[in-house]
Every structure is written in structure tokens, then in C-alpha cells.
Amino acid sequence: MRVIVVNGPNMNLLGVREPDIYGTQTLGDLEAEIRAKARELGCEVVIYQTNHEGDLLDFLHREAPGSTGVVLNPASFTYQSYALFDCLNALAVPVVEVHISNLYSREERWRVNSITAAAARGVIMGLGFHGYLAAMEYLCDRDQ
């Protein structure tokens, strides 16, 4: 089993960016938790973060085929990227969209308009880093 974990724009600023919303843990902390969960589940994990839409699409085109599935935090691409939506729809593996915060409790409801969610098997939000781990459990433990 091989799970792909992808983080979109500004996720590299975790721990610094809006700590009242995203907490004080860093992207490195998140990656350490993901790697520990992968060991526990007995699966391989590939982790990637980018601030560039085209790089994200190229990575998914290259790495998703043959994987068990994708855990994706599209970050701001959630609300604007039809290209990412099309990419996710083209993948032959399940995608679980993850958000650290609860989008429904954020800015004037514009954050609840996820373009990418319709291409995902499921969406987990508001559980902090635990959402990534729950998504990994789903992808690694489900009947293939």
C-alpha cells in the first residue's frame, strides 16, 4: 500500500500563519505524525507540498497512479481550481480531502464553496492534524 499526502498553498507556513486557526505545530510536525501513522498502518507514504497549481497537478499525474489513494489538503485551491477538480476526477484512485479547520465556521461562508470536494470520496475538516491520520486509516484499511 502506498498513500500520497499532498498539501497546497501556504501550508508550509503552518505554525506561523494564523496560529489561532491552524495551531502552532509546523508542516514538519504534521509530516512526522503522518510518517508515524504510515509505519503503524504498514503502508508507504509520499508527502508533498507546493504553492504552485501546475506543480501540484504534475505531481498527482505522476504519483497517484498505482497508489492506494490520495490525502489532499488543497488549501486555497479548494475554492478556485477547476484544473485540480478535473485532475482529481481523472484519477483512478480515491481521494480524501482534508482541512485542518472547519470551513463552515470561517469567513462569511465563501470557504464552504469547495470546488474540489465533489471529486473526493470524502471530506474531513475541523479535526486538525488528526484529519490526515483518519484519512490515511480509511485509505489503508478499506477493502481493496
Residues recorded for the chain: 144
For the question of residue 61 being annotated catalytic, the response is: no
Which is more confidently placed, 112 or 136?
Answer: 136
pLDDT at 5 over 50: yes
Nearest CA among 55, 79, 51, 73 for reference residue 4? 73
pLDDT in tens, 86-113: 999 999 999 999 999 988 777 666 566 8
Domain count, the chain: 1
Q: Output the pLDDT for position 20.
A: 86
pLDDT in tens, 42-86: 999 999 999 999 999 999 999 999 999 999 999 999 989 999 999
pLDDT at 141 over 80: yes
* From 99, 130, 132, 138, active-site residue: 99
CA atoms within 13 A on the CB side of 108: 0
pLDDT at 25 over 80: yes
Burial 96-120 (b: 16+ CB within 10 A, else e): bbbbbbebeeeeeeebbebbbbebb
Q: Output the pLDDT for position 104.
A: 79
Residue by residue, DSSP assigns 68-84 as SEEEEE-GGGGGT-HHH
* From 22, 48, 104, 130, active-site residue: 22
Please give the residue range of the domain that contains residue 13.
Answer: 2-141
pLDDT mean across residues, the chain: 93
For the question of residue 22 being annotated catalytic, the response is: yes
Please enumerate in sequence order all residues whose Cβ is within 8 A of that of 83, keeping only pairs 6 or more positions apart, or say none.
53, 57
Residue 110 sits in a domain whose CATH number is 3.40.50.9100
pLDDT at 144 over 80: no
Q: Answer whether 85's CB lies under 8 Å from 119's CB.
A: yes
Q: Output the pLDDT for position 100.
A: 95
